[in-house]
Every structure is written in C-alpha cells, then in structure tokens.
Chain A
C-alpha cells in the first residue's frame, strides 16, 4: 500500500506554478477576445484558432489546477473516457445536422 500511495500522489506544484498558469490563462483569454475584433482578417482561420485556444485553456486547468497531470493514470482515464464519449456524440450530431 505504501508504494502504491507514493506512486499515486506525486508532489503537487506550488503557488508559483499556479500563478504562472493563471497568467498564461489570462493571456490566452485576451488573445481569444482579440480575435473577436479581428474577424475580418482571420476569416476561415478564426474557428480553428478559437478551438485550439480554448482547448489549451481546458488542458491547463485540468492538468494543473485539477492536478490531473500529476495524479493517478486511472483518474485521467476515467475523465478522458467521459470526454471522449461526450465529444464523439457532439461531433456525430453536428455531422448529422451538417453544421
């Protein structure tokens, strides 16, 4: 049990990392909002850019604030499974309704 525990609970990052992540999140949000004013320049690239940016924020929060990056692989798998099914069904529905 002792060994397992040490495998499961690796050290969580400290406040310095958390603040760094927050700064990155803030910057990404600013970029996202900026795209709103640059619609005319970005055109077709806009939607992919927005999706990538929000995915980056998503991963940062899940990975660092929910410390999934440092946590047990099982928990990662559980959450990934839920996300996969949800995203898969959403994509299927969007395809069915030709969006």
Chain B
C-alpha cells in the first residue's frame, strides 16, 4: 500500500521542480506557496508602514507628498489585510487542516490550487499599480463617492484597487468553499465535530464568515465598477444615489472580515498554549462556542464603523449594544487561555512567548474596542490615532503575533527543521518592545486629537514626542521582523533533521514525519478523543464518547513509533476495504495528479481584471474589452479542460 503510493510519487517527481510547483495540487505544497508569497508581501507592507512612520517622525516633514502618502497608507492597509494576514492564515489552513483531521488532501485539490493562483495573480495586479505610478489612494475602505466617481478619482488608482480586490475575492470564496467541505466531510473516523482541534473549528467558522461576508464586498465593488465604467448612479448624489450605501455594503463585509482575520489566529493560540503548558485546553467547549457566537454576532455590528455618519440615535444605540455583546464571548476565550496556562508545566519556547503575548496585546486591543463601542466616546475617538492604535493591537498584537507563534510552532512540521530558539527569543522581545513602542503612544496621540490619514502635522500641536517614539518603535519592529527572515533562511540551510514530534504535540499532524510524505498518513488514523495524538501516546484519562465502530478490538496504541501511531493495521484495512471495495478492490492511496488548469483559470480571471483596468486607461483603452474577452475565453477553455481532465489514474472521472 505504501509502496504503491511511493511509486506514484516517484513518477510524478520526474517533472522539473518548476513545473511541479506550478501544477501541484498537494495541499502542503500549496500551503508553502501561500506561506512564502504572503511573507514576501509582509515585507512590502512593512516597508510601506516604515515610509508612513518616516513621514510622520517630525512635524512639517516633506519626505512624502500628500498623494504619495495617500497611496502608501491605502496600500499598507490593503496589503496587510488581503495579501498578508488572510493568506498567512490560508497557508496554515492549507498545510494543517487536512493533517489535523486525518485527511489525505482537501476536498477539491484543484480548486485549492486555483485559489492560490488567483490570489497570487490578483495580488500582482494590485501591486503592479506601483509600476504605473497609479497605486490605489482611496483608503482600504475605498469610501464612495470619492472612489466611485471618475470626477474625484480620475486616474487608474481605484481601478487597480477594484479589479485586484475582485480577483482576490473570488480566490478567497473558492478557498472558503473548499475548506468548509473539507472539514465537514473529510474527517478521519472518530473525529467528531467536538473532537476537532480548535484551529480546525476556527477555520470552519472563518469559512462560513467568508462565504456570507464576501458577497457583500463583491456587490459593492461591482457597483463602484459600474459607476466608474458605465455611468450608473449607485453612489451618485446628483441622481439621488446615496454614498452611505457603500459604507453599509463595505462594513457588512468589513466587520466579519475582522473576525476572518482574528479567529484563525485564536485557533492557533488554542493549539499552542496547551502544547507548551502540557495540559488540555481549558474549557474546549466554551472556546468553540464563543467562536461561533462571535461569528454570529459579527453580522449584526457593522454600523459601529459608521457611528459618526449620522444614522440617528436608535440605530446607533442598537449597534452599540450588539457591539458590546461581542466582548462577552471574546472575554470567555481570554479567560480560557489563561486557565490553560494556569498550573501548566510551561515550557518557555518562542512559540509560547508569542502566544502568551498575544493574550495580553489582544486584550489591550479588545478593551479599546469596547471603549469606542460606546457612541459618545466613539464620536470623540473616531478617525483619530486612538482607532489606529486599537486596530493595530488587534491585528498586529492579535493576528500577527499569533501567526509568528504559529510559524515557530509549525515550521519544523512544514520544512523538517527547527527554527533557532535564541534568534527566535530575540525576535520575540524586539517585536514586543517595538510593537508597544510604536502603537501604545498612538493612544495618547488619538486622545490628544491627532487625526488619522493626515500626511503632515505642525509643530506645537503637542504631538511631536509620541510621533517620534512611534517611529523609532516602527524601525525596531521592522528590524525585528527581518530577524525572523534571517532565522528562517539560516534554518533552511541546515539539514532536515526535525523529529516528527518535537514539542510533544497533541494533535494528529505530529503523528507523521516532518515534513509529511505526499500522502500524509500511511494509515488513516482513527480518533478516540480530543487531542487525538496525545491519547495515542499517553492514553486518556477520559475518552470522550464511544470509540468509533471500525476501530476494532485490537487497536492498541503505539507510543514507541511516532510515525505510525494509528490504531493498528487492522483498523486501516477494514476501513480501506469498506471504502475501496466498490471501486478498486484494493487499498491503494489515490493522490490527485497535477494540473495546469487551476493556474490558467486564475490567469484568465486576472486577465479580465487587467482588461478592465486597460479599458480605463488613455493609451490602451481600445484594447481593454478585447483583453477582457480573452480572459473570459481563457477561463472557459480552462474550465472545460478542467472538467474533462481525468482525476484518477484509472480514468474514473
């Protein structure tokens, strides 16, 4: 069984390395592609942040002009949200969700590859705007009618933004559909919903959020596109249109988006803290349900981004209430993480340090969030640096710190090498200090009345000191992030010698070699409780629920051999036989063959976006719609090829 899988693998690996990566449908390779791509974008987004802080380091600075400043802060926000945090989360979804649920791949491997390519090409479309001197300059929220009218935004800047985000949106939706089906439908025997690792749970919740939130953004962007290209009146006050409609559409997407960015990191924390405390997650059920409640409430709070718009006292009061409600499940999670650490045998590894600092930093961001849930306080704080401080505590102190923790935690599994702990700890301390130095003073600046998004301020406003401190902190933060890259590059030059289970882990990904083989599991594991691998290693004091039927009587665990902790060959064969009998009569492992069509479909989709941008340009306008047509043709031909491509060697499809 294993041998035949190896044979399949070898046949495939005869292709050149480049072709292999371009056509891969292996969720682990796609995860690694997501990983490096979004880390590269992290450097670009971080560089833009340093440009912002350089401009603001002293009053009356002329380092960046107003136009350049607008472009820099718009692209910083857009890149960090859509090109860094979301795809970094996706990198870990891709690599680890199938491993954690005991699956051999995702439900739709080619759709998964398509998501990556559409993400990459969409990002490049967005970033290419820099080459044409037309980077988006309308803020990441792109408020209409500044963005919807060519009168107010005549250049190609917003066109790049709209088209880039549309392509990214399609990629994200495809990926969410895929992970939803994978998690619901591809769990190993015994992996009931309430035995799933919390990271898998949060991925599932995030997928649902994406499915329901992104269409609102898509529709809003379509309307901006129609207003810009076809003269419609969606956001045109001269014809009775209401630009506030865009704000609703955007924030109906935008607030769930915040949870799309933070829930997966919360899941990562919920894996890392138990591992390094050597005890189970405290109140698993509460953590899971708190995540679900947050997701549910997130669709009822969007207008708290619009308190100052003037919706009236009743809507403001309603949305203030729902917003404050969200603090409850969030607080539940924080106490559960503290409860997990409490009394644990804590190992001070870099991953744990980042994870523990997440709790503290995220709590600060959460508290300032509850502050401006109150309408009168929000009137004071809105559009000030206080808000900038708040969401950086949530998105950097929250999402990114957790993602750093996850990098240190999972890097050995992904690349078979342990990251350097000494460099890692240096990275951690510099990050923590740099982060607080950058963003804590912004609370003071906001309270002192410094508005967001201004490119220059005068001396004598009392803002000089804290801006200087914030800028120094930002440089420190930039330097510390470089340390992470140094660490990773240094580590990758070492031989791959990481053990399968370096941290004495609790979940199934640690039961297989580092890095995992193409088929993941020699024998599909059978799950006997939460922390499935821990139970196999040490036995369970309390196995939750009955063991699954197929598990068989002889299913002893095998702590000596971390490569194969499965419940014994018997179970594996039973299961393979019960599934395979109808089709193949043997238990060969089927890995989907590589395919070019995901890449070409993604390219065709992006070509449509490129065509639309060209259509709006002065010089290439006439070529625009032909290029769109070419893109559509490319998508259709690719999809037909995709449909008719055999996906099993035997030509089953």
Residue numbers of A with Cβ under 8 A of B are 1, 74, 81-82, 85, 88-89, 92-93, 96
CA–CA, A82 and B248, complex, Å: 18
B208 adjacent to A96 (CB under 8 Å): no
CA–CA, A89 and B220, complex, Å: 15
Q: Is the interface of B mostly helix, strand, loop or mixed?
A: helix
* B315 CB, min distance to chain A CBs, angstroms: 6
A1 adjacent to B248 (CB under 8 Å): no
Apart from A81-B212, A88-B300, A92-B300, list 6 A-B contacts with CB within 8 A. A1-B578, A1-B579, A85-B299, A88-B299, A89-B216, A96-B248
Answer whether residue B211 sits at the interface, using C-beta atoms and an 8 A cutoff.
yes
What sequence of 0s and 1s flags, for each residue 276-318 of chain B, a beta carbon within 8 Å of any chain A beta carbon? 0000000000000000000000011001000000010001000
Please tell me which one of the listed residues B184, B299, B303, B311 contacts residue A74 in the complex, with CB atoms under 8 A apart: B184
Chain B interface size, under 10 / 10 to 19 / 20 to 34 / 35 or more: 10 to 19
B311 adjacent to A96 (CB under 8 Å): yes
Taking A96-B311, A96-B315 as contacts, is the C-beta distance between A89 and B299 under 8 angstroms?
Answer: yes
B212 adjacent to A82 (CB under 8 Å): yes
List the A residue with the shortest CB-CB distance to B212. A85
Please indicate which of the listed interface residues A74, A85, A88 has the most CB atoms of chain B within 10 Å of its own CB: A85
Answer whether residue B75 sits at the interface, using C-beta atoms and an 8 A cutoff.
no
Query: Which positions 215-266 of chain B face chain A at CB distance < 8 Å?
Result: 216, 248, 252
Residues of B contacting A82 in the complex (Cβ-Cβ under 8 angstroms): 211-212
Please tell me which one of the listed residues A1, A81, A92 contacts residue B208 in the complex, with CB atoms under 8 A apart: A81
* A44 CB, min distance to chain B CBs, angstroms: 25
CA–CA, A89 and B215, complex, Å: 13
CA–CA, A82 and B252, complex, Å: 14
Query: Which positions 427-463 of chain B face chain A at CB distance < 8 Å?
Result: none
Q: Is the interface of A mostly helix, strand, loop or mixed?
A: helix
Residues of A contacting B216 in the complex (Cβ-Cβ under 8 angstroms): 89
* A95 CB, min distance to chain B CBs, angstroms: 8
B208 adjacent to A89 (CB under 8 Å): no
What sequence of 0s and 1s flags, for each residue 463-506 of chain B, a beta carbon within 8 Å of any chain A beta carbon? 00000000000000000000000000000000000000000000
Q: Can you list 20 pairs linking A and B with CB atoms under 8 Å apart?
A: A1-B578, A1-B579, A74-B184, A81-B208, A81-B212, A82-B211, A82-B212, A85-B212, A85-B299, A88-B299, A88-B300, A89-B216, A89-B252, A89-B299, A92-B300, A93-B248, A96-B248, A96-B303, A96-B311, A96-B315
* B235 CB, min distance to chain A CBs, angstroms: 15
CA–CA, A74 and B208, complex, Å: 14
Residues of B contacting A96 in the complex (Cβ-Cβ under 8 angstroms): 248, 303, 311, 315
CA–CA, A81 and B300, complex, Å: 14
CA–CA, A88 and B252, complex, Å: 12
List the A residue with the shortest CB-CB distance to B215. A86
Query: Which positions 552-585 of chain B face chain A at CB distance < 8 Å?
Result: 578-579
Residues of B contacting A92 in the complex (Cβ-Cβ under 8 angstroms): 300
CA–CA, A85 and B315, complex, Å: 18
List the B residue with the shortest CB-CB distance to A89. B252
CA–CA, A96 and B252, complex, Å: 14
List the B residue with the shortest CB-CB distance to A2. B578
List the A residue with the shortest CB-CB distance to B299. A85
Residues of A contacting B208 in the complex (Cβ-Cβ under 8 angstroms): 81
* A89 CB, min distance to chain B CBs, angstroms: 6
CA–CA, A97 and B570, complex, Å: 64
Residues of A contacting B311 in the complex (Cβ-Cβ under 8 angstroms): 96
* A46 CB, min distance to chain B CBs, angstroms: 26
